[in-house]
């Protein structure tokens, strides 16, 4: 503790409001209906979307398509080997990601169908759930699923008493607060909010504001990535 921010700079040289380098690609997996690949800091994540497909499985709805989401970390994604079996954490994140994405999608056009989202973390760093949401939303747009808006997620945290955006693995583990937030910017809505640690109400309000600014930056990247695949010049859409 106490050595995560020195002279206003973080351990990796960023200022409190800077994002880690972000790279997004669309259409990386040809077999899937829609896919994307994100590199966010040291995170390397593949997302593949299959469907909507006809399903007679128990639990399908007459109202809309059912989403299944699987967030999985590869055994080689961490420093120490991780058991390939889905852990408690992965099951929770799968559920949380599904909920964050579901409210952005317009699924009533596809009754009695299934939509599968597979998220594979190949290399992990802090904030893999927010990077997964950002990438999965782009993959869903690539698959042609109607949506109200792209979802972009970012984690804000408190490190050494300072609010910082986009936590790295070290800051996540040693910092005081971790607060991942997902936005639907067009609708001015929040679709995911989890908090680990304690902060005051004022700090919380400031944190949400900071996250929103970061989300706007991420959204530009998402649009650029989609534009790169679908339009030769990425223009305002």
Cβ-based nearer residue to another protein, 51 or 180: 51
Least distance to another protein, CB of residue 96, Å: 24
Taking alpha carbons only, the member of 200, 221, 198, 214 closest to residue 15 is 214
Least distance to another protein, CB of residue 190, Å: 16
Cβ-based nearer residue to another protein, 140 or 156: 140
Cβ-based nearer residue to another protein, 57 or 237: 237
Least distance to another protein, CB of residue 87, Å: 32
Cβ-based nearer residue to another protein, 38 or 155: 38
Q: At which residue do the structure tokens 């952005």 appear?
A: 104
State the distance between the two ends of the chain, measured CA to CA, in whole angstroms: 45
Give me the residues that bind another protein (CB under 8 A), please.
33-34, 51-54, 62, 106, 109-113, 141-149, 186-187, 226, 229-232, 236-237
Question: Angle at CA 137, nearest 5°, toward 132 and 139?
Answer: 95
Least distance to another protein, CB of residue 55, Å: 10
Least distance to another protein, CB of residue 31, Å: 13
DSSP 105: B
Cβ-based nearer residue to another protein, 187 or 213: 187
3-state SS assignment for residue 148: coil
3-state SS assignment for residue 177: strand
Cβ-based nearer residue to another protein, 92 or 224: 224
Taking alpha carbons only, the member of 170, 176, 82 closest to residue 125 is 170
Q: Give dist(CA 90, CA 92) in Å, integer.
A: 5
Least distance to another protein, CB of residue 71, Å: 24
Q: Give dist(CA 36, CA 202) in Å, integer.
A: 36
Phi-psi region of 77 (alpha: psi -120 to 50; beta: other; left: phi over 0): alpha
Encoded tokens for 25: 């690609």
């Amino acid at each position: 503790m106490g050595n995560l921010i020195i002279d206003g700079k973080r351990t990796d040289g960023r200022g409190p409001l800077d994002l880690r380098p972000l790279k997004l690609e669309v259409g990386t997996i040809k077999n899937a209906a829609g896919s994307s690949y994100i590199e966010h800091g040291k995170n390397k994540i593949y997302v593949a979307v299959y469907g909507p497909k006809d399903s007679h499985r128990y639990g399908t709805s007459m109202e809309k398509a059912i989403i299944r989401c699987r967030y999985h970390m590869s055994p080689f994604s961490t420093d120490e080997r991780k058991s390939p079996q889905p852990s408690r954490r992965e099951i929770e994140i799968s559920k949380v990601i599904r909920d964050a994405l579901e409210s952005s999608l317009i699924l009533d056009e596809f009754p009695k169908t299934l939509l599968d989202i597979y998220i594979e973390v190949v290399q992990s760093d802090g904030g893999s759930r927010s990077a997964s949401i950002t990438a999965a939303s782009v993959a869903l747009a690539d698959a042609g699923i109607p949506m109200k808006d792209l979802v972009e997620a970012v984690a804000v945290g408190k490190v050494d008493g300072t609010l910082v955006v986009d936590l790295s693995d070290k800051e996540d583990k040693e910092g005081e607060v971790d607060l991942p937030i997902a936005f639907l910017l067009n609708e001015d809505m929040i679709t995911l909010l989890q908090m680990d640690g304690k902060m005051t109400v004022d700090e919380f309000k400031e944190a949400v504001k900071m996250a929103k600014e970061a989300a706007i930056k991420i959204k530009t990247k998402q649009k650029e990535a989609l534009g790169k695949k679908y339009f030769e010049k990425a223009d305002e859409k």
